[in-house]
Chain A
């Protein structure tokens, strides 16, 4: 049986109420009041499509063997590198194998996630691969006071495809590919450019999705009534309902478009909505997934008995529950670099990134891999040639040891107003990992007044810096204190 063997999701914890946008920007473009309900998810300043992809991928691989993956496909239109495999950054963060592995970016289209999924499934069906992880992630910058600003949220979701312990069997796919442009982003441009909404709604979503689904049904001989959930993105509420009507399904069978809780997460959204549907699915349920973007991919799945024993991921439901309101529109604008605030001369330092160091130390820097001494058993980070235990000092007698999935305890910390930071104070401290090992790291997703010595932390892969002069985004791991709520 070929199909989905695991899923994962990541919605960043900040949520921006659309009323906050309206209160700040409706003076400029009052039309945004028409969609002022609900809230959108907002990536922290140190998150982007790659870092959120890592979060969703780790979530999806909970309890799974990352070394067994044959491929990692990353789908997004907001990747930081035009030439450097972005999926390769995610794969290294996951400490995947390098030899015998083939990774790829699927980009430049909102349906790139489903296209990557179909590609993965076809290679597994053909017996060429056993296990492929497909991650879709999006973090779009939008101009102020636009409908895009209102509709778009940030997020990521991952699906693991394989043959063993399948929780949702793949039942076929069908695609329509056409050069229909509802919006586009030109090469080197900062923002999307959209055609009028009537065009997007009536000739785009409202026509292409139903026609593709009709084509799928004709091809497979399946009937729309067989499906318990039909999942398709469309941030226009009325059009979303209209598509259900056109398909002849009850409105409760149409998966909610999540406008109210996180907004449209672009390339990630078909996966985000699909994972939300899987989280509620029972054995025997049939799910029909359709995407949208220069055509439409349609995919069918049937949930198996294995879903009953499946647990572990935080998923979309779990990450939606980890919610903190971002009450300041100015903070949101700064996080997305839409306004210029002064970092001070201290923030000007801009050494380039040594690509040789990055290669030699990729396990340390991207995988958060340290070592465990074979002689004394001490886990340690960073790896050095001589064991850190002064009573041992064994030389180069280590096994690789992963810290990314380890919880830790805060031993000491501060909140630093002098450090150049987009979100001062810069909070950092010394943490001691469960099972041994300790290190000094930046903290994120917390407020200084919530942090205490003794508090637990989890690790999160984050954007460390953006070298504007050279276009290089650097990543590293941060510690996330396990705080409750917040007052951002």
Chain B
């Protein structure tokens, strides 16, 4: 009988670059920047790392294939390095590889690093993906972009709950306004200006009904983590350990867009979060989860995700959002570091960046945005489209919690 990952692996070091339009830095510079911070935080030597995992998504316009770019940039000592790609869950996948390797006993200390260099393509938004979706899919799938794919969720959500689209938009605007407010407090965030709900609502339309401020930043960046067993962590003199409580992944199997789905929720998130709570021993997430970093690629994604994480009741996310429940001073602060919205979204790094914020908060090192005594932090990635996606949910927390 599987016992899950809870408390089998501790995070002893993390690093994260400033996210943004890093015109003067390549992926190698970003990886080294994050890695140096991480290594110093862990207090170990590079040659103590026995295996590494690299997460990146758009390899064709970024670092290219294989894990060699990480091995070479970090000059790793000829250890095993594996590149993983699973859309926007790529960073969390790299983390999962490292955590599972340690938990299995295959190695003592492992590295997970994520990186994405998106601003070398010459245009805004994510790279065009028609030529990266497979030779069959490019011949029939709708002429979609990421904002368009998620925008549809807003029309589906409004239709399911009989809501005026403008009321949904108002809650979406609050989501973005809140993340901008948090981003102001974070020196590593890409976007650091506060906005009002009115500014969000009046922004130019990108994909109906999403406006510019409903969309997250497209950024360059890297983040990484070094993990080991709690025993080794203690032997290294680490105190107040942060350990992994749950790591879950769920993927669509085609039913949403080809069989049955209400068009108003994420099948995968709903399942992965339930499994994660069980793995972490959490029975009432609304009460027990201290803080979250969710995949707010678009404001509507965050809105709907609040329900699929079983924190807001079905149909109640707009109300909780408007009540400020997810604001920095709310019941479950969400996107404490600014989120994808304002911290930015270098895809392969994002999952690790979310864990970085939870890790800082758990250690009380989050500066102006420090929350009071957090115990469990949840991170969530959603890659792909609402109707066909990869979802990861991770929970980390104080080792004794």
Contacts and interface: CB of A to CB of B under 8 A. Distances in A.
A397 interface: no
A344 B128 CA distance: 11
Interface string B127-169: 0101100011011111111011101110110110000000000
A410 to B, nearest CB: 9
B159 A454 contact: yes
Contacts of B322: none
A351 B143 CA distance: 14
A247 to B, nearest CB: 51
A99 interface: no
Given A414-B151, A453-B159, A430 B125 contact: no
Interface string A342-358: 00111001110110011
A278 interface: no
B135 A417 contact: no
A380 B159 CA distance: 24
Interface stretch (A115-123, A251-259, A420-428): A420-428
Interface stretch (B253-261, B278-286, B288-296): B253-261
Interface stretch (A64-72, A298-306, A320-328, A435-443): A435-443
Nearest to A346: B128
Contacts, number: 135
B106 interface: no
B67 interface: no
A412 B263 contact: yes
A382 B158 CA distance: 28
B206 A418 contact: yes
Interface stretch (A36-44, A214-222, A384-392): A384-392
A470 to B, nearest CB: 14
B139 A345 contact: no
Nearest to B139: A365
Contacts of A448: 208
Given A414-B155, A415-B207, A453-B155, A388 B135 contact: no
Contact of A413 (B125, B130, B155): B155
A419 B155 contact: no
Given A351-B131, A438-B257, A448-B208, A426 B143 contact: yes
A318 B231 CA distance: 79
A184 interface: no
A380 B257 CA distance: 10
B23 interface: no
B147 A416 contact: yes
Contacts of B125: 346, 418
Interface in B88-140: 121-123, 125, 128, 130-131, 135-136, 138-140
A355 to B, nearest CB: 10
A440 B257 contact: yes
B258 A439 contact: yes
A431 to B, nearest CB: 10
A338 B30 CA distance: 46
Nearest to B253: A390
Interface string A1-38: 00000000000000000000000000000000000000
Given A346-B125, A351-B138, A476-B139, A381 B258 contact: yes
B258 A419 contact: no
A438 B139 CA distance: 18
Contacts of B151: 414, 416
Contacts of A78: none
Contacts of B140: 364-365, 382, 464, 476
A242 interface: no
Contacts of A411: 156, 159, 263
A417 B257 contact: no
A69 B113 CA distance: 61
A474 interface: yes
Contact of B208 (A349, A361, A380, A414): A414
Nearest to A361: B136
B205 interface: yes
Contacts of A412: 152-153, 155-156, 159, 263
B300 to A, nearest CB: 10
A483 B149 CA distance: 22
B139 A357 contact: yes
A380 to B, nearest CB: 5
A438 B259 contact: yes
A92 interface: no
B207 A442 contact: no
A428 B139 contact: no
Contacts of A384: 254
B284 to A, nearest CB: 29
A389 to B, nearest CB: 6
B254 A474 contact: no
A474 B140 CA distance: 10
Contacts of B158: 453
Interface centre among B123, B140, B141 (most CB of A within 10 A): B140
Contacts of B122: 345
A352 to B, nearest CB: 9
Contacts of B35: none
Contact of A418 (B135, B148, B209): B148
Given A388-B254, A430-B387, A349 B139 contact: no
Nearest to B125: A418
A146 interface: no
A442 B258 contact: no
B207 A345 contact: no
A429 interface: yes
Contacts of A388: 254-255, 258-259
Nearest to A449: B208
Contacts of A361: 136, 139
B166 to A, nearest CB: 14
Interface of A: 344-346, 349-351, 353-354, 357-358, 361, 364-365, 378, 380-382, 384, 388-390, 411-421, 425-426, 428-430, 437-442, 448, 453-454, 464, 474, 476
26 contacts: A345-B122, A345-B128, A349-B130, A349-B131, A351-B135, A353-B139, A358-B139, A361-B136, A365-B139, A411-B159, A411-B263, A412-B153, A413-B152, A414-B149, A414-B151, A416-B145, A419-B145, A425-B208, A426-B143, A428-B148, A429-B142, A429-B155, A430-B257, A441-B142, A448-B208, A476-B140
Q: 4 closest Cβ contacts across the A-B interface?
A: A416-B148, A412-B156, A414-B151, A428-B142
Given A426-B148, A453-B155, 16 more contacts: A345-B123, A346-B123, A350-B131, A365-B140, A381-B258, A390-B259, A414-B155, A416-B148, A416-B208, A417-B207, A418-B145, A425-B208, A430-B387, A438-B257, A448-B208, A476-B139
Interface of B: 121-123, 125, 128, 130-131, 135-136, 138-145, 147-149, 151-153, 155-156, 158-159, 205-210, 253-255, 257-259, 263, 387
